[in-house]
Structure 1
């Protein structure tokens, strides 16, 4: 839906389940967060908080409310100190390290936490939910260190920075500057919260960081699969390859849906019905011929992984949970991020294989022994100056380095569970580390793809100098013309880092429309 006063699409929390794309739009400021105004939703939230208040008055024992946390659950908190416990929780967890989450990542974390708490089973107040929505609407972003979570009991340390900011403590990024949270909250007219007895635990004891990052990783991976397909079409053309490798009947014989979809996209981009140009070369090397089989694994994994991510996104994943209808306290382990850990370990492996595929395509394309008549290193220099120009020689080395690092990152994080917190958290998910690893693999693979865009622009133009080489698909032809506008033909050696950064940014923005299906 759209807010008529702003014309910005609205994502309404507490109404229908969120999608990965909802989180993506919120992370890019392409949508506004609004808390559902339905009276039934708000009454359900209030019933949970009121039930906790009544239990406290009746001297009920509630984990994390009248007891210490984790291994300290046997420590009873004196009634006079119960109100201070949430502040102590986010205070002593203020030990995060490493880089700060970037603005898109931080917005995705806030969105994921708000989605979970809006399920109405966390015993929090409507005011807390409104506080999170206000941070998103005003783009007040807690400075969240990336390191320090083992993924159970949820993302405690990074989410402590969200809890502290809601209370007017620590620092935020606002309007491009790091500022004190208290100062910024006052500026936007938001009163710092005084957390109710369970609210510190509800904010922190969940999977919002890993899930928010997973949503961003999914979107980037889905776009990369399409980019890699288009690049493969470009590379088949530049290499004077055989488009008949992607024949429809051929792929009907092994009908993995994603693999077949990649082959169909390649048929759109290439003259799929033409015979091989070289009768002595009936089969191209695997990195071209088997591209649908490699990219298809990623394509086929995405729907499966979407289920894991979106189920987690729309779950109540803190502990204990509060059933406001039966008025029960439910102690469990929903903070465990195993599904996200598996999804991110699987996704980074599929993405790294795509990086490896493109790396192999480039190795063939720059090598005069294998590129079927193109100049070495795709250098466009001619005459005497050809001797001192080196084309894409160094770029191919960098692509090899980025690919190697991506492949190295595919060790599954989830198998490195550590017993921690006095053996209370004796089996943990490592989901946040898996998500961070996946984002790193995606960054490296985007760099590989950016380099391949330069190589495709260079290789096709050089092939066109030798013979007519036309792209069949309109969008593929338009994309190549766009690349020609963005990237000058490399005739004299030049530094390419500026162009690489610009192309990576274009990939992140998803500048090119790639295939309707």
Structure 2
């Protein structure tokens, strides 16, 4: 029996989402959500009786066609035409986990009763989520303006029996999967196609995915930097709390405290140092990692607000007797936040590669390129090249998408956020960061080997004992890409 998460008005947080995904929760509408959805749908049906009054997206065309009135007997066709015509995605397929997040976030947004959709529509989305029927969606096509129109159209196509889905690991036609469950295609009512397509769930799902992964990688970045600090035989005075109390940025203070905690009982850290100062990539870990933490805190708050919001258009306010065409679908809050997140994550990778560079430089009693018989063996020379290449790519990916805008929809949508591009490149930056950190722990583990018989802290030695079972100390040249891949898998499977 699957665990159930009830969709209601309580705040959906990242911990809850992670639990839903990791423990394979099923979704269900609460009585509260069902009541709100029904109330708004009934209100909208009544509102349509006034056929002389145009309501955007309900009995009118879309975008720059908003002044064209649509006959009542054509409203279902209008909504289905909208979904089909907007399914213009291309490029790489969106990862299944992100598609599943899109389903969850679209269900959450529609559950507040401000969208005018039917319970049947929301329930079909829930069925897709619970049965792991994941629409095929493409990365390219959204301007992040009237929401994520193209990707959300692809999310919606299977509801009406069109498009493709991934089910049980295979790509199938939506029609075939609906038949497998004896489900009839949804007949979209007025406003429902628009409610599905308007919204920021493509951007938001990428943001949530990135946040969940970032929580692990940010913690690992601190821990791996501590390994490198001991491996490079660094002076510990820069982490003294007195230094950070006089410049009390929250992230900086937390990072310095964590470094001291990780290296608390390290023999290497406690011994007398002849070096008065260390390179910035070691000495300024609290300042650099801390600044990224503070930036990420802002991003987390922005994304949390977004996923607990109504982002389609128009918005239905039953108690106030209003249907308002506004702009909550505009992705600017997400675009700026996701660009900022990419920059913050890129910097964690940037400083990581600099530590890797220092470790292979033949300084502080370490052999050139961290290998016996350098010359005969190239050792860790080229893993640093690889890290440098990835860091450079991240810098290119961090050019903000949100500073761009291209007029669309015949001038009606004259400012767009480009937040979807912010979202997709953020995920690439995140993947790159994981690879860079994997290379650093690979190097730092090797460097610490040359400090024996001195030991690092209990925490570090415990992690490295596990790591070396997967990635042993390199005695002579071997195919290093295999070891890097094992390091990436190790980071994927361990939280520290």
**TM-score after normalising by structure 1:** 0.92
2:410 corresponds in structure 1 to: 422
CA distance in 1, matches of 2:471, 2:492: 18
2:369 corresponds in structure 1 to: 377
- Answering whether residue 126 of structure 2 is matched by residue 126 of structure 1, we say no
- Answering whether residue 320 of structure 2 is matched by residue 349 of structure 1, we say no
1:329 corresponds in structure 2 to: 323
8 Å contact 1:276–1:282 — kept in the other structure?
no
CA distance in 2, matches of 1:81, 1:495: 64
- Answering whether residue 213 of structure 2 is matched by residue 216 of structure 1, we say no
2:288 corresponds in structure 1 to: 294
In structure 2, the CA distance between the partners of 1:497 and 1:185, relative to structure 1 (3 Å rule), is farther
CA distance in 2, matches of 1:263, 1:137: 43
1:237 partner SS: helix
| Counterpart among 200, 204, 209 of residue 207 in structure 1 | 200
In structure 2, the CA distance between the partners of 1:145 and 1:491, relative to structure 1 (3 Å rule), is same
In structure 2, the CA distance between the partners of 1:160 and 1:29, relative to structure 1 (3 Å rule), is farther
- The 5-angstrom pairing of residues 31-70 of structure 1 reads 31-38=24-31, 40-59=32-51, 60-70=53-63
| Counterpart among 278, 285, 300 of residue 279 in structure 2 | 285
8 Å contact 2:455–2:461 — kept in the other structure?
no
- The 5-angstrom pairing of residues 442-481 of structure 1 reads 442-464=430-452, 467-471=453-457, 474-481=458-465
> Per-residue CA shift, 1:65-116, capped at 9, x if unaligned?
2111000001111222122111100111121111010111111111111111
Equivalenced residue count is 493
2:474 corresponds in structure 1 to: 490
8 Å contact 1:48–1:324 — kept in the other structure?
yes
> Per-residue CA shift, 1:1-39, capped at 9, x if unaligned?
xxxx33x4x33212412112333444x45242422332x
CA distance in 2, matches of 1:179, 1:506: 33
| Counterpart among 325, 334, 339 of residue 340 in structure 1 | 334
CA distance in 2, matches of 1:246, 1:345: 30
> Per-residue CA shift, 1:455-474, capped at 9, x if unaligned?
1211111222xx51321xx4
Mark the runs of 5 or more structure 2 residues left unpaired by the alignment. Answer: none
CA distance in 2, matches of 1:93, 1:226: 40
CA distance in 2, matches of 1:79, 1:341: 37
In structure 2, the CA distance between the partners of 1:410 and 1:272, relative to structure 1 (3 Å rule), is farther
Mark the runs of 5 or more structure 1 residues left unpaired by the alignment. Answer: none
The Cα shift of 1:486 comes to: 1.0
1:482 partner SS: helix
- The 5-angstrom pairing of residues 12-411 of structure 1 reads 12-26=6-20, 28-38=21-31, 40-59=32-51, 60-271=53-264, 277-279=272-274, 281-368=275-362, 371-379=363-371, 381-382=372-373, 386-411=374-399
Structure 1, 492-501 or 409-418: larger mean CA deviation: 492-501
- Answering whether residue 491 of structure 2 is matched by residue 507 of structure 1, we say yes
The Cα shift of 1:165 comes to: 0.9
The Cα shift of 1:243 comes to: 1.8
1:99 partner SS: strand
8 Å contact 2:231–2:447 — kept in the other structure?
yes
8 Å contact 1:142–1:171 — kept in the other structure?
yes
> Per-residue CA shift, 1:326-365, capped at 9, x if unaligned?
2320110000111111111111111111111001001100
1:412 corresponds in structure 2 to: 400
8 Å contact 2:407–2:416 — kept in the other structure?
yes
CA distance in 2, matches of 1:33, 1:330: 33
Which of structure 1's runs of 4+ aligned residues deviate more than 6 A? none
In structure 2, the CA distance between the partners of 1:191 and 1:497, relative to structure 1 (3 Å rule), is farther
Structure 1, 435-444 or 76-85: larger mean CA deviation: 76-85
**TM-score after normalising by structure 2:** 0.96
CA distance in 1, matches of 2:6, 2:38: 18
1:121 partner SS: coil
CA distance in 2, matches of 1:100, 1:496: 30
Structure 1, 94-103 or 243-252: larger mean CA deviation: 243-252
1:501 partner SS: helix
CA distance in 2, matches of 1:389, 1:102: 40
2:305 partner SS: helix
